[in-house]
Amino acid sequence: MRLIPTLFPKAPRWILTTAFYSGFCLCFFFIGAAVYVAIGPEEGQLLRTRQMLALTIMVICVVVFIFSMRWFISEKPLRSNAELKPAPLEVFPDSRIVKYGPGSKFHGIEWLPRYSELSVDINNPTSTDYDNFDAQISTDLVINHMVQIGGLGECKVEGAHGFTEPPHWQHMDGDQPVGPVDDPQWGYEVIPIDENGDPILPFLGADWTYRIRCSKIPANSHLVLFGALVAVNEHVYDKPPHPAPSPWPFFDPPRPAKWVTLVAIFQVSGHDYKKAIHKGSIGQIHKIE
């Protein structure tokens, strides 16, 4: 009885409806043909042959009708069961302050003293792939860099607001340039500003939100992300009396993130899912059913 709905679990509703009514009409046609054959005037062997043919036609009619009815009735529950298939996510964020020596690179990130670490482990605990995974991650701090350090397959990781070209600097003696552009010996803290003199955020690839796009997170696997965070001074947009320089540093000392927000959209067996945690605590596993 489940042969047809099993073979065609995603058949459109109109096809199933057509199949039902077609089967219904065919039944009446074959019943009429069977009755005609059964009541013919012939006798003897020919009559018995026609009666057997009529019986066969009626059996075919009943089978067609049952399959049509079963197909029509079963289609909606089968699709509903697929839509209700659970697709949980497990997210473990962690953040801490670390100290590396000058010039250190960690997971490809040139580490600066103002950075704190962020790691986010996203787990697909099911036996089904999560396709077209698209997530956004943010914290209470600015994400200066984020990279993928674990997981099957490669994901595209970038700031949600796009990349800002790094600013350049030139040391000057009066109106004369001294040394090459971007000379690291001067150790400038270079922050891009707009035409009004306000700092531009995001800066140097930094962003409040990072976007992660993967073709899939395979069944029973993890996606692991690593980021460098910076704490921007809360007075960064306060305007001092011009032309006095700002009395506040642009960056605060490094500190761990307090929370992580994640919003993810993906597909399971062709059905769309959206999962989210809002300001999830650092150092805890967040299970999203």
Based on the domain organization, do 224 and 274 belong to the same domain?
yes
Are residues 167 and 191 in contact, defined by beta-carbon separation less than 8 angstroms? yes
Residue 129: CB atoms within 10 Å:
19
Which residues touch 30 (CB under 8 Å, ≥6 apart)?
A: 57, 58, 60, 61, 64
Beta bridge partners of 172: 177
What local confidence, expressed as pLDDT, does residue 187 receive?
55
What local confidence, expressed as pLDDT, does residue 139 receive?
93
Based on the domain organization, do 237 and 133 belong to the same domain?
yes
Structural domain boundaries enclosing 162: 89-288
The answer, as to whether pTM is greater than 0.85, is no
What local confidence, expressed as pLDDT, does residue 189 receive?
54
Number of domains in the chain: 2
What local confidence, expressed as pLDDT, does residue 5 receive?
47
Of 48, 83, 118, which residue constitutes the final position of a domain? 83
Based on the domain organization, do 135 and 252 belong to the same domain?
yes
Report CA Rg, the chain. 34
Based on the domain organization, do 58 and 111 belong to the same domain?
no
Based on the domain organization, do 135 and 186 belong to the same domain?
yes
Based on the domain organization, do 243 and 150 belong to the same domain?
yes
Are residues 89 and 260 in contact, defined by beta-carbon separation less than 8 angstroms? no
Q: Name residue, tokens 């000392």.
A: 253
Amino acid at 74: S
E strands in 43-115? 89-96, 105-106, 109-110
What local confidence, expressed as pLDDT, does residue 144 receive?
87
Based on the domain organization, do 127 and 59 belong to the same domain?
no
Based on the domain organization, do 194 and 262 belong to the same domain?
yes
The three-state secondary structure class of 235 is coil
What local confidence, expressed as pLDDT, does residue 68 receive?
62
Based on the domain organization, do 135 and 258 belong to the same domain?
yes
10-residue mean pLDDT series, the chain (289 residues): 48 61 67 62 62 71 67 49 73 93 85 92 94 94 91 85 55 73 60 57 69 93 94 70 61 92 93 93 93
What local confidence, expressed as pLDDT, does residue 78 receive?
42
Which residues touch 7 (CB under 8 Å, ≥6 apart)?
A: none
Return the sign of the alpha-carbon dihedral for residues 265, 156, 110, 119.
positive
Instruction: Give the CA distances from residue 86 to residues 6, 122, 127, 136, 280, in Å, rounded to whole numbers and listed in that order.
Output: 20, 16, 11, 21, 21
Based on the domain organization, do 37 and 125 belong to the same domain?
no
Based on the domain organization, do 208 and 283 belong to the same domain?
yes
Based on the domain organization, do 46 and 173 belong to the same domain?
no
Of 83, 108, 139, which residue constitutes the final position of a domain? 83
Of 36, 52, 83, which residue constitutes the final position of a domain? 83
